[in-house]
Each structure stands twice: as C-alpha cells, then as structure tokens.
C-alpha cells in the first residue's frame, strides 16, 4: 500500500522505537518506517520521500542534530521533530537553531505527539495537496 501519511521514526532503543511506532500507527493512521541509527535514516531518506521525521537526539556517533541538518539541506519542506530524555534550555535553543520544528521530552505523551502530527498533516496536505485518507 502507498500511504500519504508516512513517518520516518529514528530511535536507537528498540523497545521505545517499536512502542512509538505502534502509537503513531494507531493514533495517526500513519505508516511508520523505523530506523535505529542516523546512518540507516539517511539511507532511507535517499530511497523514500518523507515529509515528517521524528528523531531521538542521542543516537551514537551521529546525533539527531546531524540528521536534522542533513534533512534541512536535502528536503527543507519536511517537518522534523526532536525527542530527548534530557531537557535543558541550551538543548532547546540548539534544536531550534538546527531547524527542528518541535521538541518532546521523554517519556513522550503519545496523545500530545499525535495531536502535533495530525496538525502537521493538515499543513502538509495544504502545501502538497496529497490525500489524507
């Protein structure tokens, strides 16, 4: 099936990756493509167009900040959301400077995340005129 609502989810903790993907699929009726590293995500981005990427910030050698910079260079129309386990004003400023559209603290409130994702679909549907069903 070809889904208009396709999300790239990047998280190196497998259990959290699977749980978040399941929540997004159920709450947002979206297809979620999972990646466990920035390198894997970058490969997927070469192969498929994603208009929404949700990424953890701490991912090993390369971070979610590196991934966001790559996305901003290659597809500036995409929305990119950050997820982190550590909240600080410095990190929030760093995320905004890197080009993230929003920032979530772990444990993520899946209801709040779903509301943000759904609002982004509305923007994307207007921008890109794709079917939301």
Q: What are the pLDDT digits (tens) for 93-132?
A: 888 888 999 999 999 999 999 999 999 999 988 887 755 4
Pairing relation of β-strands 6-10 and 31-35? parallel
8 A C-beta contact, residue 84 and residue 103: yes
8 A C-beta contact, residue 9 and residue 24: yes
pTM score of the predicted model: 0.91
Domain boundaries, the chain: 6-128
CA–CA separation, 27 and 77 (whole Å): 24
Which CATH architecture describes the domain 6-128? 3-Layer(aba) Sandwich (3.40)
- Residue pointed to by tokens 């979530």: 104
């Amino acid at each position: 099936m070809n889904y208009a609502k396709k999300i790239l989810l990047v998280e190196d903790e497998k259990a959290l990756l699977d749980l978040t993907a399941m929540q997004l699929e159920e709450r947002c009726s979206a297809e979620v493509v999972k990646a466990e590293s920035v390198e894997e995500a970058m490969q997927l981005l070469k192969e498929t167009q994603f208009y929404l990427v949700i990424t953890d910030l701490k991912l090993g050698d390369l971070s979610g900040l590196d991934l966001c910079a790559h996305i901003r260079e290659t597809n500036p129309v995409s929305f990119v959301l950050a997820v982190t386990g550590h909240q600080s004003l410095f990190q929030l400023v760093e995320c905004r400077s890197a080009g993230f559209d929003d920032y979530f603290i772990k444990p993520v409130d899946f209801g709040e995340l779903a509301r943000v994702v759904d609002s982004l679909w509305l923007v994307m549907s207007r921008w890109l005129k794709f079917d939301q069903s």
